Amino acid sequence: MKATLAPPSSLISLPRHKVSSLRSPSLLLQSQRLSSALMTTTATRGSVAVTAAATSSAEALREGIAEFYNETSGLWEEIWGDHMHHGFYDPDSSVQLSDSGHREAQIRMIEESLRFAGVTEEEKKIKRVVDVGCGIGGSSRYIASKFGAECIGITLSPVQAKRANDLAAAQSLSHKVSFQVADALDQPFEDGIFDLVWSMESGEHMPDKAKFVKELVRVTAPGGRIIIVTWCHRNLSQGEEALQPWEQNLLDRICKTFYLPAWCSTSDYVELLQSLSLQDIKCADWSENVAPFWPAVIRTALTWKGLVSLLRSGMKSIKGALTMPLMIEGYKKGVIKFGIIACQKPL
């Protein structure tokens, strides 16, 4: 995949690194579930055929994600602006916020995440940032401006990368911030160069969570911080091997529309980070803080402007809108958790 614009000088892309795969027991389970969901090949056809099927399934997922965001990002930006993620609200806030209230909540999500990870106190150390799954670059521009840092964002969607670069240019930030099309599972960066590795609501799209985490850790500088804010399923209780069938069914219906592979829990992420000897590993469940978000998105979709834009935007957006109530149901029933996981790479 090609970069759409030259990144800031010190963040020039370098040859890809080979990443061997890592599996913790529970992630192996996730991966097996994913494989069975994605692979059409039976074991009797031999390992070459199975590998080929896995590769083409992963490629199909990447293409689906790229097309989904190519088609839907313009609509989202028109209605919700350049942050394509949940807002952070006070629990039980029953007020129906204005547009600016929701934007503030999205900015608050970034601020709360930085604070949770301990980055706010280390502000001066943050010189280079990678925004993994950057959307149209809302987080990158905000973080680059806040810290005076250089930031590079990667996305699978060429439409998003272009729009993100255009917005950076319009805000006179091109010398600090740039965006390119690249795969989070095979990042075009040298080892150990980023002081902050930021993944805001992109982890749920990653078909191999172990490889995803390993890649995040690889590009982090010694002493650097990693922040993953992502949709998870609930943690399994002791002795439980899988979600209940009705829970899995609910997630499967969401996966289809939003181009998601199998989900994992926050504990799975923590286990993965522990297996890689990361430090200061913390996680939290912010589901209560994001509860007002999807109802608000649905309300905007049901306005005249929302409906007209939705119809213009196409089938993927319409299907997305129809799936939103399932997200609310998932949160209400405790199957879906909005998780933050943060850690530091040892010096």
For residue 167 the two structure tokens come to 């917005």
For residue 106 the two structure tokens come to 């999205």
Return the residue of 34, 75, 84, 130 that touches ligand SAH, per CB under 6 A. Answer: 84
For the CB of residue 345, give the shortest distance to ligand SAH in the complex, in Å.
20
The one segment of 38-46, 82-90, 214-222, 261-269 that binds ligand SAH by CB under 6 A = 82-90
For the CB of residue 284, give the shortest distance to ligand SAH in the complex, in Å.
18
Q: Does 200 bind ligand SAH (CB under 6 A)?
A: yes
Q: Does 163 bind ligand SAH (CB under 6 A)?
A: no
Number of residues that bind ligand SAH (CB under 6 A): 23
Distance, CA of 209 to CA of 203 (rounded, Å): 8
Return the residue of 83, 176, 218, 225 that touches ligand SAH, per CB under 6 A. Answer: 83
For the CB of residue 48, give the shortest distance to ligand SAH in the complex, in Å.
24
Nearer to ligand SAH, 135 or 292 (CB): 135
Q: Does 213 bind ligand SAH (CB under 6 A)?
A: no
Alpha-carbon dihedral 92, 96, 98, 100, rounded to 10 degrees? 10
Return the residue of 27, 126, 156, 281 that touches ligand SAH, per CB under 6 A. Answer: 156
Q: What share of the chain is helix, strand, coil (3-state, %, to 5)?
A: 50, 15, 35
Residues 6+ apart with CB under 8 A from 212: 184, 185, 203, 206
Residues 6+ apart with CB under 8 A from 250: 326, 329, 330, 333, 335
Helix, strand, or coil here: 339? strand
Q: Does 201 bind ligand SAH (CB under 6 A)?
A: yes
CA 199 to chain centre: 5
Yes or no: say if 327 and 204 are a contact pair by the CB < 8 Å rule: no
For the CB of residue 184, give the shortest distance to ligand SAH in the complex, in Å.
3
Q: Does 176 bind ligand SAH (CB under 6 A)?
A: no
Q: Please name which of 261, 335, 320 lies closest in space to residue 80, comparing C-alpha atoms.
A: 320
Helices (H) and strands (E) in the chain, counts: 12, 7
Return the residue of 11, 65, 255, 281 that touches ligand SAH, per CB under 6 A. Answer: 65
Return the residue of 34, 151, 185, 197 that touches ligand SAH, per CB under 6 A. Answer: 185
Site string for ligand SAH, 114-143 (x = CB under 6 A): -------------------xxx--xx----
Return the residue of 8, 11, 24, 69 that touches ligand SAH, per CB under 6 A. Answer: 69
Q: Does 287 bind ligand SAH (CB under 6 A)?
A: no
Q: Please name which of 139, 63, 64, 33 lies closest in space to residue 320, comparing C-alpha atoms.
A: 64
Q: Please name which of 95, 138, 146 lies closest in space to residue 120, comparing C-alpha atoms.
A: 146
Nearer to ligand SAH, 153 or 292 (CB): 153
Q: Does 154 bind ligand SAH (CB under 6 A)?
A: yes
Positions touching ligand SAH (CB under 6 A) are: 65, 69, 83-85, 133-135, 138-139, 154-157, 160, 183-185, 200-202, 205-206
